[in-house]
Amino acid sequence: MGNPAASIAASVRMKGVSFSNIRNSMIEIHLGGCACEAVRYRVQGRPVVGTVCHCRFCQRRLASAFAVLASFKEDAIEILQGELSEIEHRSNESGRWLRMSFCSQCGTTISHTAELRPGMRTIAAGTFDDPSWIHIDRHIWVQSKLSWVAIPENVPSYAQGFVATST
């Protein structure tokens, strides 16, 4: 018979994704980090939501047309190495704060937390070692979308941010 502890912690690596077998329950693990590789992180499971944000702040802070974001419960994310610096920004569109965490060496934005979503942390999807697995559930702040950006018809979009309401 094999070592029970070894079977509990066994993991297999496939195309940038690890699956850990913990008590016969497979947990999907994704790794990522900053451009200089000083910061490395691991997330467990799939995001609660995948979002593309078209707000002017995301356009400016990332020097891009939009941000691709994967939001997780905060306890699903673990910083494996390196130190993150943090800045707080109050959105000129929503009025709420965002706290961006970034590599103190190369400046890569790794994640952010938002006043609107306590207990959640959003990872900048481009920092995953393999971001191809991210599923986009919605586009937000499309009132600020650049005219040449096309949103797929089958993905919900919102003029401003999205706030889930209980029914």
Secondary structure class of 58 (helix, strand, coil): helix
- pLDDT of residue 40 exceeding 80, the answer is yes
Domain ranges of the chain: 32-144
CATH 3.30.420.40 fits 32-144, yes or no: no
Q: How far apart are CA 141 and CA 110, in angstroms?
A: 21
pLDDT of residue 78: 96
Token pair in block for residue 76: 């699903």
**Mind listing the pLDDT tens digit for each residue in 101-110?**
999 999 999 9
Which residue in 86, 107, 109 sits closest to 32, CA to CA? 109
Calculate the average pLDDT of the chain: 83
Identify whether the C-beta of residue 103 lies closer than 8 Å to the C-beta of residue 34.
Answer: yes
Task: Give the predicted TM-score (pTM) of the model.
Answer: 0.78
- pLDDT of residue 123 exceeding 50, the answer is yes
Convert 85-108 into a string of H (helix), E (strand) and C (coil).
EEEEEECCCCCCEEEEEEECCCCC
